[in-house]
């Protein structure tokens, strides 16, 4: 009986099982199987249990991915703004001669290579 191979259906011991429940691994025949887009189950209860778990896992996965991507995008936007601001002010202070500030701007322009 407990040899690990698919044998009789959970509800019909004489009928050969065609599926295994994705949640509890019990064998079921074609007339007992509860089919769902995510797999085959022995009962609606097992299907719901599995789907609840899969939904939670997917939600958690999305939250991690979403936050990571949002942070990265925020950082990229800040970096672009900073570079634009720096280049803009350097360009402005090297175009318009302002004592001391222009000296500093030329130094920064040499440093940045722009
Ligand atoms: Zn089951
Ligand atoms: Zn059956």
Q: Which bound ligand lies closest to the C-alpha atom of 18?
A: 2
Q: Which bound ligand lies closest to the C-alpha atom of 11?
A: 2
Tens of pLDDT, residue by residue over 34-85, are 999 999 999 999 999 999 999 999 888 888 777 777 888 899 999 999 999 9
Residue 109: half-sphere exposure toward Cβ, Cα within 13 Å = 16
- Length of the chain, please? 114
**Alpha carbon distance 67, 65 (integer Å):** 6
Q: Which bound ligand lies closest to the C-alpha atom of 16?
A: 2
Query: For 10, phi and psi rounded to 5 degrees?
Result: -55, -40
Record the pTM.
Answer: 0.52
State the residue for tokens 């089919």. 35
- Separation of CA 59 and ligand 1 centre (Å): 23
């Amino acid at each position: 009986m407990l040899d690990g191979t698919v044998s009789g259906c959970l509800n019909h011991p004489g009928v050969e099982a065609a599926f295994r429940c994705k949640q509890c691994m019990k064998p079921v025949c074609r007339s007992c199987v509860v089919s769902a887009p995510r797999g085959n189950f022995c009962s609606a209860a097992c299907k719901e249990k599995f789907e609840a778990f899969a939904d939670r896992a997917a939600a958690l996965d999305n939250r991690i991915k979403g936050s990571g991507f949002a942070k990265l995008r925020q950082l990229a936007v800040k970096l672009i703004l900073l570079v634009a601001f720096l280049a803009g002010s350097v360009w402005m202070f090297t175009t318009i001669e302002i004592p001391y500030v222009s000296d500093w701007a030329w130094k920064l322009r040499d440093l940045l290579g722009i």
